[in-house]
Structure formats: structure tokens, C-alpha cells
Amino acid sequence: MEIQLSTFMMVTGYRIEVPAYESRQLRWKIITASDGNITALREIETGTGDMIMNAQEIMNREDFKRCAAFHGHVCPGLSIGYRAARAAMAWLAERRSEDEEIVAVVETDACSADAVQVLTGCTFGKGNFIYKDHGKMVLTLLSRKTGQGVRVALRPEAFSPDAEHTALIRKVMAGEASEAERTRFEELHLKRTRDLLEAPTEALFNLTPAETPMPAKARIEPSALCARCGEPTMPSKMETVDGRQICRGCL
């Protein structure tokens, strides 16, 4: 497939921007004529690749800004979640879900989970964002429409910060960093955040077809009153104690 530059692209050197092209990410090869002029772009990979953009261009994107606003700060974990969610969305070639089109299963409640909620549209409140407390940066995205799913798992070598960064993280967390150390930490933290945005998808993640069975749709049931506290509770979540229905908070 060859696409004329004039149709919808801007080319700056070898960086290519494809405006308003959100959910699928493509790689392009520049085709040059014998006189050296660029004549066309050729799609060389579809699906899991990310656009060739630098970190600043990504951070200026509307979807990244929404992630940062929701999460409250920009950090390496947010970058990982942003990249994982985009890679998963590209795999599924799905649009943001309105209701329960997509189901996200995350295996950590760290920073990355916020980017996943913003980009996939799967949220706790809609019942299509499922948290498994495994302490792993693994995102499984399942499409209800097609029944297909993808598992995006962080590669072992992808996220480890260098020794200086690791030492500074400890000092900052313990409140023992000097002013200069804090400044250096912020510098390294931002560099890590940016590096992760620019890294090739295949260097960050292993993508495999998901083997997680489709989770059940959110259940709606009339509440019953807990026999101890009297608060309305989903009956399926209560336990029977001495013949009385008790909410889990009262056990």
C-alpha cells in the first residue's frame, strides 16, 4: 500500500506524524524517487508498533495529557501504562469503549493502571476494569465484540532503572535526599519517563494472545439490608452467619 504524502500526513525529516490517527499505529517506510524526493510512504508493519514520534511529541498529545491529568503527575510508570494500553488497543483495533465493549484486566495497582483506565475507557465503576493483585505489569485487554484478547507483559529488562536512579529513589522516598539529589532525581525520573515513551514496543513488552476467559458482565441486583449494620448490600456479596445475612464489612 502506498499513500501519497499530500493526503493526510506531514513529514519532518524522518519523523512522521499521522494526525487524528488514534487507535491503530503503523510504521511507515519512506519511498524516494531517483531524484531523491520523497514520493510515498509505505506501510511496513501494522498492529503492535507505535508511531515514530519523540517523547515531547507524545507528551504533547491529547491522550497523554489526559493520562497525566487523571494520574496527577508524569512518571515512568505512567509511560509504561500509556505504551501498554496503546499497544493493546492497536492489537485489538478497538475504539475507546462506551460501555462494556472492552474489558481490561490489570495485575498491578501502580501508576500504569491509571493510563490504562483513561486510554481504554475501562474503569472500576463500569465493572470492565478488573484488578488482580499479582504485583506484575501485565495488561490483558479483551474485546467483548470479537472475543479476542491480548496479553501485554513487561519484558524483564525493560523497566529497571540504573543504579544511580535506584539509589536516589530510595533516598527521596525516605525523605533523606538533599536539594541537589532531589533535582538530580527529578532529572533522571523525567529522562526515564521520556525514554519509555520512545522505546520500540517490542523492546518493552511481550504481546501474546490472551488466555484469560471473558469475565462476566457487571451484575445488577437489588440490595438487601445487612442484619448487623443495616446498610444496603448486594446479597451475592453477603455471608450467612447464624442464619442471618451479614455484609463483609461486619464479619
Identity of the residue, 27 or 71, whose beta carbon is nearer to Zn ion in the bound complex: 71
Give the total of residues touching Zn ion (CB under 5 A): 8
CB of 52 to Zn ion, least distance (A): 26
Q: For the residues of the chain, what is the DSSP string, one character each?
A: -EE-HHHH-EEETTEEE-TT--S--EEEEEEE-TTS-EEEEEEEEESS------HHHHHTSHHHHHHHHHHSS--HHHHHHHHHHHHHHHHHT-PPPSSSSEEEEES--STHHHHHHHHH---GGGT-EEE----S-EEEEEETTT--EEEEEE-TTTSPPPHHHHHHHHHHHTT---HHHHHHHHHHHHHHHHHHHHS-HHHHEEEEE--PPPPPPPP----EE-TTT--EE-GGG-EEETTEEE-GGG-
Q: Which residues within the stretch 57-96 sit at the binding site for Zn ion (CB under 5 A)?
A: 75, 77
Q: How far is the CB of 109 from Zn ion (least distance, A)?
A: 12
Please report, as residue ranges, which positions from 190 to 229 form the binding site for Zn ion (by CB under 5 A): 226, 228-229
Q: Which is nearer to Zn ion, 132 or 228 (CB)?
A: 228
The residue range among 80-88, 107-115, 159-167, 185-193 that interacts with Zn ion, by the rule CB under 5 A, is 107-115
237 binds Zn ion (CB under 5 A): no
Q: Rounded to the nearest whole angstrom, what is the least distance from the CB of residue 73 to Zn ion in the complex? A: 5
Note the residues at the interface with Zn ion (CB under 5 A): 75, 77, 111, 226, 228-229, 247, 250
